[in-house]
Amino acid sequence: MIKKIVLSFDLDFTLINNQKGIINSFNFALRKFNLPELAEVKIEKMIGIPLEKMFGSVSDINPTQLTNTFREYYGEKGIYQSSLLPGIKEKLDELKDKKFTLGIITSKRQEMAERIIKFLQISSYFDYVIGETEEIKSKTDPKIKEYLHKKFPGFKFIVIGDHPKDAKLSLNLKCPFIGILTGHHSSKSLESVRNNRMVVINSVKDLSVDIIYSLL
């Protein structure tokens, strides 16, 4: 039995529900630049892609300015409008007991992701948190693969997430993918990215050791 396994989780809508904080921060930035607010459902559909791309798709204003304003609100208020999805802490306990190595790869800024998991009291479960930094701008950055293989030589990896970008990350890492349906993407949209060495389940709480080993 393979014991050296890294389970790499997405954050938003895989481990946490941060919809309220993201929507409020997004519309705060739009209001500050005298732009009309977006309906919640429109923002929901964009969650998971980099903020500058989100703002660039709805306005001609410099997306960096809008992104900085979003982060200003998010850092003060939005971060505290998040919660763990049902059963997450219990599942993380179980996976750690089974000696899996756990990590997070997110489109969020790394510093913000670290603050959120500390606030939600799950930071101790994770051996690494990789988010957006000056060096890493997206989940598809090749530096992520370099970092992981250097940090965990000889380990097997599995990516777990709700977004097609998580499926793309798994392709970049040449590892299996477990799709989660607690976000805003269907199994069809996840399966459109890859069609082998993957499984789609309803939520992280449905993750089992049998599912993990079936992919390796």
Q: Supply the pLDDT for residue 167.
A: 95
Q: Supply the pLDDT for residue 2.
A: 56
91-133 pLDDT tens trace:
999 999 999 999 999 988 899 999 999 999 999 999 999 998 8
Per DSSP, which regions of 147-204 are E strands? 156-161, 177-180, 198-201
Q: Supply the pLDDT for residue 84.
A: 97
pTM attached to this predicted model: 0.88
Q: Supply the pLDDT for residue 50.
A: 81
Average pLDDT over all residues of the chain = 93
At residue 133, φ and ψ (nearest 5 deg) are: -135, -175
* Domains of the chain from N-terminus onward: 5-16+83-214 (3.40.50.1000), 19-81 (1.10.150.240)
Q: How confident is the model at residue 51 (pLDDT cuts 50, 70, 90)?
A: confident
58/70 Cα distance (integer angstroms): 14
Lowest mean pLDDT among 6-20, 135-149, 200-214: 135-149
